[in-house]
Structure 1
């Protein structure tokens, strides 16, 4: 495993977001300006590098029903590498949904290897 001595502020924000299984816009809350309002084209390559290292997966939020019948949501299977560029360059992917419904929106999760990274 090739772990850098220290992750950048943006890499750490993505790792935190994935640890929390938060939707993608949540990463902006962990960044200071001007990064917090940086365009997707500035942030997506950093996220892709973490995906390529095998530390983070990008998924869509899907509905889930608990064993007792309560509704909720969970991450889907990870998007493929081919799907990621379009999904991450969509400006709407980086904004909280106005409806408050996260279903279909992007979320980040740590991989098994990513859970071992000190961030």
Structure 2
């Protein structure tokens, strides 16, 4: 059963919240969107994501290297992109595509803030 707070979100906002809860990279949001946003330009998605960031529910972070306690190498979200820089970073259409290199390091990922985690419960 959806949380009452999520029922007030648009389907696009819910897609971003789902991806942030999954700590998914930014291009992954397209898999949870409805048409016409799925096949539309990333510029149509920027205002939706920025509104969730401005509400304090989502952070956009680059993936950085991480080493598990057992020495296994991996990735984790780094520090959030500063809000003042976020519109310019999101305007780069390449950030909305899966990397051709196959490595996700440096890719933007979505994470929920403490306030955002209360919304999706």
TM-score (norm 2): 0.91
Q: Which runs of 4+ in 1 moved over 6 A?
A: none
Number of residue pairs matched by the alignment: 117
Shift of residue 5, structure 1, vs aligned partner: 5.2
Matches within 5 A, 1:53-68: 53-68=55-70
User: 1:110, 1:118 → 2: CA distance?
Assistant: 9
Where structure 1 has 5 or more consecutive residues not aligned to the other structure, the ranges are none
Mean Cα displacement is larger for which, 68-77 or 4-13? 4-13
Unaligned runs of 5+ in 2: none
CA distance in 1, matches of 2:63, 2:39: 23
TM-align CA RMSD: 1.4
Q: TM-score, normalised by structure 1?
A: 0.93
* Post-superposition offset of 1:33: 2.0
Match of 1:109?
111
Pick from 45, 48, 54: which aligns with 1:46? Answer: 48
Q: Secondary structure at the match of 2:83?
A: coil
